[in-house]
Structure formats: C-alpha cells, structure tokens
Amino acid sequence: MKVDWSTFWPRIIEATGETITMVILTLIFASIIGVVMGLLLFVSRKGNILENKIISISLNVLINVIRPIPFIIFLVAISPLTRMIMGTTIGTFAAVFPMTIAASFAIARVVENNLISIDPGIIEASKAMGASPFQIIFGVLIPEALGPLILGLTFITVGLIDFSAMAGTVGGGGLGDLSMTYGYQRFDTSVMIVTVVILILLVQISQFLGNLLSRVFLRR
C-alpha cells in the first residue's frame, strides 16, 4: 500500500510547517521562562548577588525532579494539565505546552552553567562600580554570557526537533507523526526516508544559524 506522492507532498510540507511551528513557539516561550529561571538559579546561589536559600533550594529540587523524566512519559503524565490549560491535548499548539515546560528546565540549567563560567572578578568589578543587582543582571551577566548562551540554545533547539517528533506521535502532528503513521506503521520506507531527511535538514539549518549568531557575540 504505497502512498500517492502527488497528493502526499502537500502533507509533508504541512507537517514540516507544524514541526517548525512547534519548535519555534516552544523556543520562544521556553527561552523566556528558562532564562528567568536560570538567572534566578544563578543569582540566588550562595555568596551571589541575591543569595537566597529558599529560592535556590526549591528551584533546584523542582528542576532535578522534572528533568530526569523521559519526555515521552512526561508528555503523557502532564496531559491532564495540558488539557486544563490548552483546552485539548491534541494538535500542534497543545504539544507546545508540555514541550515548553520540559525545555524551560533544560534551558534554565544551560543558562545557569553559562553564568557560572563568567569570571567572578567581572561581577565584583561591577559591584565595585556601584551597580545594583538589577543592573548587574541586565548590563553584565546577560551580555557576558550571550555568545555561549546562544550555542546552548541551539543545542536545545536540536533537542526540540526531537521532542516535537515525540509530541507528534501522541497527536501533535508534524513530521514525527507523519513518519510514524505512514513510514513506520504502514512500512513505507520512502516516507520514512523523506521525513528523516527533512528532520536532518532542519537540525543542520538550526545549528548553522546558531553558530552564525553566536559568532557575532563571541567574535570568533
């Protein structure tokens, strides 16, 4: 039972669009939440500019509980919450919700790690200049970490393409869904190959853009 390619190409293009939508929307929301959480993780650390034990411990525990859960299980486990907030668990937009939650925690760690690698002397110099914690966060921490941060976000984006394929299999649509329903379940190797090639291309393009952008900030 082969597919009819003349009618199948539009399906592929549609699915590619769904995948890109899922990834980009997730990236936007998860970056906002993740950067805020990552900054909080960093500044609340012991000895840091806004040291706060309660915030530090609760964020760390939360992240360490959520992060090890395999995404496919997380996706199913969180579906009641997804239905409550998005109204449904099926479709591209509904998939963005669990993806955003999972990605936020990953991004929070990436952000924290990049902030930790900033030379503490630079933060100290800003303090000595009379900068407030707010001014240090936006004027020093973010610009200093931006180059490696973009690389970290690129890494996350590649992971999101993977997530989106999984979200697809539970009704999110996109290339993952397509490749599962036609390629895997109907044993049509050609569909499988086409979707996999497109996924590889998407990964390559995101990596290329990420490298390009980070180079602007890293100057190397």
50 lies in the site for other proteins, by CB under 8 A: no
Kindly provide the residue ranges of all beta strands, DSSP E only, lying in 87-219, ordered along the sequence.
none
151: which residues sit within 8 A by CB, 6+ positions away?
210, 211, 214
Near other proteins by CB under 8 A: residue from 28, 117, 139, 215: 139
Which lies closer to other proteins via its Cβ, residue 111 or residue 194? 111
Binding of other proteins at residue 116 (CB under 8 A)? no
| Span near other proteins by CB under 8 A; candidates 28-36, 47-55, 57-65, 140-148 | 140-148
Structure tokens at 205: 């393009």
How would DSSP label each residue in 56-90?
Answer: HHHHHHHHHHHTTS-HHHHHHHTHHHHHHHHS-SS
* Residue 121 binds other proteins (CB under 8 A): yes
The CB-of-143 to other proteins minimum distance in angstroms stands at 4
Which of 88, 135, 190, 204 touches other proteins by CB under 8 A?
135
Q: Please tell me whether residue 130 binds other proteins under the rule CB under 8 A.
A: yes
Return phi, psi of residue 50, to 5°: -130, 50
CA distance 88 to 79: 9
Distance CA 115, CA 120 (A): 10
Cβ contact 166:153 at 8 Å: no
- Residue 11 makes contact with other proteins by CB under 8 A: no
Rounded to a whole number of angstroms, the minimum distance from the CB of residue 114 to other proteins is 12
According to CB under 8 A, which one of 65, 143, 200, 205 is a site residue for other proteins? Answer: 143
The reply on whether position 124 binds other proteins by CB under 8 A is yes
Binding site for other proteins (CB under 8 A): 119, 121-122, 124-132, 135, 139-140, 143-144, 146-147, 217, 219
